Structure 1
Amino acid sequence: MTELAQIRNFSIVAHIDHGKSTLADRLIQMTGTVAERDMKAQLLDSMDIERERGITIKANTVRIDYPAKDGKTYVLNLIDTPGHVDFAYEVSRSMRAVEGSLLVVDASQGVEAQTLANVYQAIDAGHDIVPVLNKIDLPAADPDRVKEQIEDVIGIDASDAIPISAKSGLGIPDVLEAIVQRLPAPKGDRDAPLKAMLVDSWYDAYLGVVVMIRVIDGVIRKGDRIRMIATNATYGVDRLAVLRPQMVDWPELGPGEIGVFTASIKQVRDTRVGDTITHERRPCAEALPGFKPAQPVVFCGLFPVDAADFEALRDAIEKLALNDASFTYEMETSAALGFGFRCGFLGLLHLEVVRERLEREFDLDLITTAPSVVYHIFMRDGTMQELHNPADMPDLTYVDHIEEPRIKATIMVPDEYLGDILKLCQDRRGIQLNLTYAGSRAMVEYDLPLNEVVFDFYDRLKSVTKGYASFDYTLTDYREDNLVKMQILVNDEPVDALSMMVHRDRAESRGRQMCEKLKDLIPRHMFKIPIQAAIGGRVIARETISAMRKDVTAKCYGGDATRKRKLLDKQKEGKKRMRQFGKVEIPQTAFISALKMDE
């Protein structure tokens, strides 16, 4: 049993690519938690996608034993968190399970937008924060400037920030000492009834559902009967373990400790993140407050390419949703695509990652519809509906007005790219709120409509600033605007997967772009295909894909011109009939490319 005073629970927070996972690697390596032969870069990033993209998606945890300079051995529970704005929910959850944070800032890049967002989450959770300056061995590093920035922009004391290089291992012993000396020990009562917080759960093919918990009060042992307060289900603990990243069996977990257990739980659905776990016989007095559920921001439809895969898709989505509490889904049907799911995500990267995980881990072929946001539609009779899918738009004669979600975006950008950023935000119907400077970097705050950000705002932002800008946003409110539903018709048939809500002033250029794009993407058929963009009954843009034609007059040589004419007329009749009954196949790649808007 570990003394409370010798436990430290902490998370690592930082902007994307400032070195969180590398620092976690060094801490694990220096304390000998993992044998040298098993060490690899980004040890805690276990998913293939995380390793390929070099990003952290799931918060991962590891228990480290550290013999400190004062002769005591401390237990350090480290949670490595993601940096991207789309996974901020993972970060906020991890924060609740620990008492302190290491704030990692790149000594060459300085404070970025996501640094701010993540630090504020740590401060909200009441953490003690130790600033760490990483990458000080880079030629461009300027630790003094960055310390000033941390004090100016974030407002925490950085005079004793620890300079390190996580890649080479420079300064890591100082970090370990600082964790022990400067972060608080957890509080808890060993003799009180068991009260533990469910931090995360995931599905393992061999063990069933694995549940990660942080014990607040009391002790949990193997063989205990436990109750989940939210679902009121009871289970017997089969196996208790701590993560060193691999599971190591453990006899008991006391207050302040973080570990995992399995209890023959069949479905991840039964384990709600943020739930309180207690003993069946001796329950705790009240449940923990839990987490507020994540608000999905972007919605899109996921459909199987082959309709027979629908059951497999349902299964896959259920398993994924267990593990990812910020992902929501419901069934929907579409005339063109059959049965599928309308899914909600925290952002576009989240959408991409979920889609990729479904395709890889469950071997599915999927069609994704245009991402859209939730609109509030106010009807003439005074009621309000939420619109998740533009294809479900009610008849305009009954609609009074439409409101769209607005966000407050914070963009940090080097001075020389400021003009491009202001133009980009202006083009996206943004309203400038604020512009301040921190050193040579500008910090711009904009009020933007979310549907303009959903498509490709982030890509455009990165390309106009050569990757130097950083971006973070929060949802603010709903506001009325002049919005219309634009449909795309291919061969006079509406394609519901491509219908979208646009601002009326933008509709024509958006429609023309879509039509031109589809003209290049849809292969030619034996008959000519018109592609039209329409608002209600009015066509606002049109392109035509010309037909492939067979040379029917090849066998005529010499003789009368009427012989050729007769063959050509016969061909013309056939084409007309084909166009009437012909079906246009739109390839999957065309859907995806058409939805990526380039200016």
Structure 2
Amino acid sequence: MKHIRNFCIIAHIDHGKSTLADRLLQTTNTIADRDMKNQALDDMDIERERGITIKSHAIQMDYTHSDGEKYVLNLIDTPGHVDFSYEVSRSIAACEGALLIVDAAQGIEAQTISNLYLALENDLEIIPILNKMDLPGAQPEEVTDQIVELIGCRPEDVIPASGKTGLGVQAILNAIVERIEPPKGNPDAPLQAMIFDSVFNSFRGIIAYYRVLNGKIKKGDRVKFVNTKKEYYADEIGILRMTMEPRKEVLTGDVGYIISGIKKANEVKVGDTITTTANPCLDVVQGFEDVKPMVFAGLYPVDTDEYEELRASLEKLQLNDASLVFEPESSMALGFGFRCGFLGMLHMEIIQERLEREFDMTVITTVPNVSYKAYLPKENEPKIVNNPSELPDPSKVDYIEEPFINAQIITKSEYIGQVMSLCIEKRGNLKNQVYLTQNRVELTFEMPLGEIVFDFYDKLKSCSRGYASFDYHPIGYQQSDLIKLDLLLNGDPVDALSALVHRSNAYELGKKICLKLKELIPRQQFEIPIQAAIGAKVIARETIKALRKDVTAKCYGGDISRKRKLLEKQKKGKKRMRQVGNVEIPQEAFLAVLKLD
């Protein structure tokens, strides 16, 4: 065990952790040069195209230290985006050390700090690394000072490196061996292993990745998953290289995989404990929690016949992405579909893209929203409202609570004004303001989650010219003055466009949505009124004029009554058509509501 080191890599988006992981794999000869490609651990097309890590990846490397001793290094590469911080927290729990990577040109950002706190809570040894030293815009002295101030280490502990040129990779490997402690655990105790990830293989079922904390696991053992209380045979166990390598046994401190023919994703929960049925461990691994979705949206098939196909596609996606939650629902405007819970807006975008690419499913997405709690008189339990159409009659509701978050924003001091006004416009309360260095400020706001799910991130980036970074965590529910805003087309409510909004924003938002829909809905043979309403009270209206044929064109001269008769006949036809006519809403109209300015 004293020759094993388990570590993960944490960093803000785009600070170069995947590139640095590539160099580590190359230096330890885990990947042959001929098989090397950029982002070697990222195996999804979307990850490569967008240059982001979505799933955390584990891999084992062999390294011979300068003193001639051989070490086994288990690396777990983690995502950097705030939506996937759940993945990061699981990976951190499986390690004893973390490489904290900071871009020498950009300095410390919000995600760096939040991931660092996660690592410190788990008592990990932090190895600070200054990446991208080869860039002309790098400011090593300034950023080193920031790191020293943040972690409290010595300036000489910070390792300068470059994932592109390979500078400092040897120093990093030495630091991993020298600074990170070997795993602690009792090899003779009953088996206790923690699952930190699972993937789906269409031939073998679900493969669970785990870290053995105590005891050992042998091929053919009968194992039990403690939280789900299911039992299986360990058909194949082994360690993770670029491909999976089967072994007879996986020992204490090691990271490995298990294949036991599991078919359902919900039978493997990340954070669960594996033990043997013959000699079970007494206590489970702490820190197990179910992932909580933050943003809810409806996904509907464009063609209603594809409902079952969409269900099958979502189930398969759920095998690869345990944080996707969905349940069936129906809508008057869109027919049958699913209400899905996502970790955030990027997660929602990626699920949509994967449905299109991997399963060829085109879906309509409704306006995303968060879940609210409606308190009714005489009832003890609040009603959870995930969809505005589920809200009980407003006259029967005492009050509504909505989820609030603690948002940390780090930006340059010259953009404080714009960032503050954006947050206050989104009903935020400034809680704290700390200068990290002379020109970098950390602002802490308390704000409603519902306000940031639309376009907050895009607006924050544009008002700070890309220099602000953002991270958040939920702090519970608080009472708010919320009302339901309905949209009526031709007098019929469209439930897919209704939203729960704060009373102060309702009139403005209603007017904007009506204007936007007027642009996007094509003109029909009859006049279409678009109305925004709160209950029975209409607060905004736009009208799409009818397309009209010139019925009087054939009248050359003659009496006015001939023309009048033709126009009256046309008017009757339009009136009848309006009573029976249906309005087709294009997909862009649903998405445009999200991008309202």
TM-score bucket (shorter structure): over 0.9
The answer to whether the Cα contact below 8 Å between 1:414 and 1:442 also exists between their aligned partners in 2 is: yes
Cα-to-partner distance string for 1:112-147 (whole Å, 9 max, x where unaligned) = 111000001111111111000001122222222212
1:148-547 matched pairs, under 5 angstroms: 148-383=145-380, 384-439=382-437, 440-547=439-546
Cα-to-partner distance string for 1:71-114 (whole Å, 9 max, x where unaligned) = 01111110110111110000001111111100001112111111
Per the TM alignment, residue 289 of structure 1 is displaced from its structure 2 partner at its CA by: 2.3
Aligned-pair Cα RMSD in Å: 1.6
Distance 1:142 1:495 in 2: 54
SS in 2 for 1:82: coil
Partner of 2:50: 53
Per the TM alignment, residue 155 of structure 1 is displaced from its structure 2 partner at its CA by: 4.0
Distance 2:69 2:562 in 1: 102
Which letter does structure 2 place at the counterpart of 1:494?
P
- Structure 1 window deviating more from structure 2 (344-353 vs 153-162): it is 153-162
**Cα distance change, pair 416–241 in 1 and its aligned pair in 2 (3 A):** same
The answer to whether the Cα contact below 8 Å between 2:455 and 2:594 also exists between their aligned partners in 1 is: no
Partner of 1:15: 12
Distance 1:173 1:229 in 2: 41
The answer to whether the Cα contact below 8 Å between 1:209 and 1:267 also exists between their aligned partners in 2 is: yes
Per the TM alignment, residue 158 of structure 1 is displaced from its structure 2 partner at its CA by: 4.5
SS in 1 for 2:274: strand
Per the TM alignment, residue 193 of structure 1 is displaced from its structure 2 partner at its CA by: 2.2
Distance 1:152 1:273 in 2: 34
The answer to whether the Cα contact below 8 Å between 2:206 and 2:319 also exists between their aligned partners in 1 is: no
SS in 2 for 1:133: strand
Per the TM alignment, residue 187 of structure 1 is displaced from its structure 2 partner at its CA by: 1.5
Distance 1:443 1:494 in 2: 44
Which letter does structure 2 place at the counterpart of 1:491?
N
Distance 2:112 2:2 in 1: 30
Distance 2:572 2:151 in 1: 73
Relative to the length of structure 1, the TM-score reads 0.96
Per the TM alignment, residue 279 of structure 1 is displaced from its structure 2 partner at its CA by: 2.0
Which letter does structure 1 place at the counterpart of 2:319?
L
Partner of 1:586: 585
Distance 1:346 1:490 in 2: 32
**Cα distance change, pair 320–290 in 1 and its aligned pair in 2 (3 A):** farther
Cα-to-partner distance string for 1:545-589 (whole Å, 9 max, x where unaligned) = 111122333333344433333222211111111111100000112
SS in 1 for 2:552: coil
The answer to whether the Cα contact below 8 Å between 1:297 and 1:347 also exists between their aligned partners in 2 is: yes
Cα-to-partner distance string for 1:272-329 (whole Å, 9 max, x where unaligned) = 2112112232222232225222222211111222222222222222232233333322
- Structure 1 window deviating more from structure 2 (194-203 vs 503-512): it is 194-203
The answer to whether the Cα contact below 8 Å between 2:428 and 2:445 also exists between their aligned partners in 1 is: yes
- Structure 1 window deviating more from structure 2 (427-436 vs 84-93): it is 427-436
Distance 2:230 2:555 in 1: 82
Is the aligned partner of 1:84 residue 2:113?
A: no
Which letter does structure 2 place at the counterpart of 1:229?
V
- Structure 1 window deviating more from structure 2 (228-237 vs 461-470): it is 228-237
The answer to whether the Cα contact below 8 Å between 1:131 and 1:158 also exists between their aligned partners in 2 is: no
**Cα distance change, pair 162–408 in 1 and its aligned pair in 2 (3 A):** same
Per the TM alignment, residue 156 of structure 1 is displaced from its structure 2 partner at its CA by: 4.5
Per the TM alignment, residue 405 of structure 1 is displaced from its structure 2 partner at its CA by: 1.8
Relative to the length of structure 2, the TM-score reads 0.97
Per the TM alignment, residue 157 of structure 1 is displaced from its structure 2 partner at its CA by: 4.5
The number of residue pairs the alignment matches comes to 595
Distance 1:414 1:120 in 2: 22
Distance 1:260 1:116 in 2: 31
Per the TM alignment, residue 389 of structure 1 is displaced from its structure 2 partner at its CA by: 0.9
SS in 1 for 2:99: strand
The answer to whether the Cα contact below 8 Å between 2:265 and 2:322 also exists between their aligned partners in 1 is: no
Distance 1:266 1:556 in 2: 74
Distance 1:121 1:517 in 2: 42
Distance 2:496 2:155 in 1: 51
1:558-569 matched pairs, under 5 angstroms: 558-569=557-568
Per the TM alignment, residue 241 of structure 1 is displaced from its structure 2 partner at its CA by: 3.0
Per the TM alignment, residue 154 of structure 1 is displaced from its structure 2 partner at its CA by: 4.3
Is the aligned partner of 1:125 residue 2:128?
A: no
The answer to whether the Cα contact below 8 Å between 1:101 and 1:129 also exists between their aligned partners in 2 is: yes
Which letter does structure 1 place at the counterpart of 2:244?
M
Per the TM alignment, residue 230 of structure 1 is displaced from its structure 2 partner at its CA by: 2.2
Per the TM alignment, residue 218 of structure 1 is displaced from its structure 2 partner at its CA by: 2.0
SS in 2 for 1:455: coil
Which letter does structure 1 place at the counterpart of 2:28?
T
The answer to whether the Cα contact below 8 Å between 1:194 and 1:277 also exists between their aligned partners in 2 is: yes
The answer to whether the Cα contact below 8 Å between 1:196 and 1:277 also exists between their aligned partners in 2 is: yes
Q: Indicate the percent of aligned positions where both proteins have the same amino acid.
A: 55
- Structure 1 window deviating more from structure 2 (67-76 vs 472-481): it is 472-481
Distance 2:401 2:295 in 1: 16
- Structure 1 window deviating more from structure 2 (389-398 vs 275-284): it is 275-284
Which letter does structure 2 place at the counterpart of 1:141?
A
Per the TM alignment, residue 413 of structure 1 is displaced from its structure 2 partner at its CA by: 0.7
SS in 1 for 2:351: helix
SS in 2 for 1:55: coil
SS in 2 for 1:264: strand
- Structure 1 window deviating more from structure 2 (310-319 vs 551-560): it is 551-560
Distance 1:129 1:153 in 2: 12
The answer to whether the Cα contact below 8 Å between 2:300 and 2:337 also exists between their aligned partners in 1 is: yes
The answer to whether the Cα contact below 8 Å between 1:34 and 1:244 also exists between their aligned partners in 2 is: no
SS in 1 for 2:239: strand
Cα-to-partner distance string for 1:498-538 (whole Å, 9 max, x where unaligned) = 11111111111100100000111111111111101000111
- Structure 1 window deviating more from structure 2 (508-517 vs 234-243): it is 234-243
The answer to whether the Cα contact below 8 Å between 2:401 and 2:480 also exists between their aligned partners in 1 is: yes
Which letter does structure 1 place at the counterpart of 2:347?
H
Distance 1:231 1:446 in 2: 38
The answer to whether the Cα contact below 8 Å between 1:191 and 1:217 also exists between their aligned partners in 2 is: yes
Distance 1:437 1:288 in 2: 38
SS in 2 for 1:259: strand
The answer to whether the Cα contact below 8 Å between 2:237 and 2:247 also exists between their aligned partners in 1 is: yes
Distance 1:406 1:397 in 2: 25
Distance 1:405 1:368 in 2: 22
Distance 2:374 2:524 in 1: 40
What are the ranges of 5 or more consecutive residues in structure 2 without an aligned counterpart? none
Which letter does structure 2 place at the counterpart of 1:208?
G
